[in-house]
Amino acid sequence: MTDNTRSINWYPGHMEKARRQMQENIKIMDMIIEVRDARIPEASANPVLNEMTTGKPRLIILSKEDLADPAETEQWVRSLSTENCIVLPLDLRDGKDVRKKIVASSKQLTKKTYEKLKAKGIRNPRPMRAMACGIPNSGKSTLINRIFGKASLKTADHPGVTKTLSWIHADPYLDILDTPGVLWPRFDDQHTAALLAVTGAINDQVLDFKEIAAVLLTTVQAHYPGLLEAAYSFTDIMDPYDILRAAAQCRHILKENSEPDLDKCAGTVIYEFRRGKLGRITLEYAEKKENLSE
């Protein structure tokens, strides 16, 4: 984003309250289930939560994998996995195997803790405790509902749905604490903020859609040559605002004077991306990042 663009910030009071309550609960957790968005696996990692949960066995769910580029997701799984961290890309709307995969990974990550309890002579140890955390709208409540097998937690397609912490006895082996989506007080990197905004982790009401659509179009144009040309019927345009103009002509999103309505079209482009109507797109690239740091 350029210097004269409006800076993005969204940190309502319920997030700070949730952060404090999560910090209070962290001691009793056997593991962390961190839900990131598969389209932005790095930008959707909350540094405040990462610091708070350091050292705990971690299951990273790359949610919305149905919307992300499968080849990029594979790269991210490779680059994020460690001995103490299992990475699972999942389409949480499709219930198939979600519960089975999460319970199996949780058993693997908490094996030592569970066996310690058994070694103390406890025949039926308590369920393992996991805190589900992550940025807003990443799918935490959807995930817990999937494991539980019932839609007991409220979910919706906008950020800030869950406002309080609540325990769910999700499985005989696993109790999960659902938490509100949490961001951090200030985005030092406005590109990260724009990626969070594009994917729906920030309240749309605080956003300038034209600016974040420009970030989206620039990124897609650089990494998926031909995709936007095919979607919006144009050729030889690189400037994101010119692409927006072409998209408005293509979708007949015009003002009364027949000029392209860029504000309205920005909303349409973002909506089409979020719904997967432009194809399966990832906006951050694990392999290129590794190469850059070589």
Ligand X SMILES: Nc1nc2c(ncn2[C@@H]2O[C@H](COP(=O)(O)OP(=O)(O)OP(=O)(O)O)[C@@H](O)[C@H]2O)c(=O)[nH]1
Phi, psi for 32 (deg, rounded to 5)? -120, 135
Distances (CA, A) of 93 to 99, 136, 145, 213, 231: 12, 17, 10, 26, 26
Specify the stretch interacting with Mg ion by CB under 5 A; choose among 34-42, 134-142, 242-250, 282-290: 134-142
Closer of 139 and 240 to Mg ion (Cβ)? 139
Determine if 141 is a binding residue for Mg ion (CB under 5 A). Answer: yes
Binding residues for Mg ion, total number by CB under 5 A: 4
Determine if 63 is a binding residue for Mg ion (CB under 5 A). Answer: no
Task: Please classify residue 115 by burial: count the beta carbons closer than 10 Å to its beta carbon, then call 0-12 exposed, 13-18 middle and 19+ buried.
Answer: exposed
We find the least distance from the C-beta atom of residue 263 to ligand X, in angstroms, to be: 24
- Among 273, 275, 281, smallest CA distance to 71 is for 281
Determine if 140 is a binding residue for ligand X (CB under 6 A). Answer: yes
Strand partners, 82: 85
Residues numbered 173-202 forming contacts with ligand X, rule: CB under 6 A? 180-181
Do 41 and 284 meet the contact criterion of CB atoms below 8 Å apart?
yes
Specify the stretch interacting with ligand X by CB under 6 A; choose among 74-82, 119-127, 152-160, 183-191: 152-160
Give one DSSP letter per residue of 234-274, joined into a string.
--S---HHHHHHHHHHHTT-B-TTS-B-HHHHHHHHHHHHH
209-223 helix and 262-274 helix, angle to the nearest 10 degrees: 50
Determine if 75 is a binding residue for Mg ion (CB under 5 A). Answer: no
Specify the stretch interacting with ligand X by CB under 6 A; choose among 59-67, 209-217, 247-255, 277-285: 59-67
CB neighbourhood size of 238 (10 A): 10
Among 106, 110, 138, 219, contact with ligand X (rule: CB under 6 A) = 138
Determine if 179 is a binding residue for Mg ion (CB under 5 A). Answer: no
Binding residues for ligand X, total number by CB under 6 A: 24
We find the least distance from the C-beta atom of residue 211 to ligand X, in angstroms, to be: 23
Task: Please classify residue 63 by burial: count the beta carbons closer than 10 Å to its beta carbon, then call 0-12 exposed, 13-18 middle and 19+ buried.
Answer: buried
Determine if 155 is a binding residue for ligand X (CB under 6 A). Answer: yes
Judged by beta carbon distances under 5 to 8 A according to partner kind, the member of ligand X, Mg ion, none in contact with residue 67 is ligand X
Task: Please classify residue 265 by burial: count the beta carbons closer than 10 Å to its beta carbon, then call 0-12 exposed, 13-18 middle and 19+ buried.
Answer: buried
We find the least distance from the C-beta atom of residue 254 to ligand X, in angstroms, to be: 30
We find the least distance from the C-beta atom of residue 157 to ligand X, in angstroms, to be: 3
Distances (CA, A) of 235 to 212, 227, 238, 273: 22, 11, 9, 20
Determine if 42 is a binding residue for ligand X (CB under 6 A). Answer: no
Residues numbered 149-168 forming contacts with Mg ion, rule: CB under 5 A? 161-162
Among 159, 174, 198, 253, contact with ligand X (rule: CB under 6 A) = 159
Determine if 145 is a binding residue for Mg ion (CB under 5 A). Answer: no
Phi, psi for 128 (deg, rounded to 5)? -70, 150
Residues numbered 77-136 forming contacts with ligand X, rule: CB under 6 A? 90-93, 136
190-199 helix and 262-274 helix, angle to the nearest 10 degrees: 70
Closer of 148 and 234 to Mg ion (Cβ)? 148
Return residues touching Mg ion (CB under 5 A). 140-141, 161-162
Return residues touching ligand X (CB under 6 A). 63-64, 66-67, 90-93, 136-142, 155-157, 159-162, 180-181
